[in-house]
Amino acid sequence: MTAQAMHRALENNRRFTDLKDAEARLSQARRDLAARVISEEEYETIADVCLKIIRACRD
């Protein structure tokens, strides 16, 4: 595997990991909001960040 291919594979792996982490965090935030562990404002902040990460990773 060339250095360029290795770099591309590592970058794809990082993006996939970031995507799955953001999806999991968003899901947890939904559960926390339903359980009233976090406020609506906190949920909106978390959701905004997570959705930005998800969109960036899928591009």
Q: What is the pLDDT of residues 21-45, one digit of tens each?
A: 999 999 999 999 999 999 999 999 9
Tell me the C-alpha distance between 16 and 35, whole Å.
Answer: 29
Domain housing 53? 3-58
Question: Tell me, what's the pLDDT at 58?
Answer: 84
Question: Tell me, what's the pLDDT at 45?
Answer: 98
Check whether 59 has a pLDDT greater than 80. Answer: no
Percent of the chain with pLDDT over 90: 88
How many domains does the chain contain in total?
Answer: 1
Q: At what angle do helices 3-34 and 40-58 cross, to 10 degrees?
A: 160
CA atoms within 13 A on the CB side of 27: 6
What average pLDDT does range 2-11 have in this prediction? 92
Q: For the chain, what is the mean pLDDT?
A: 95
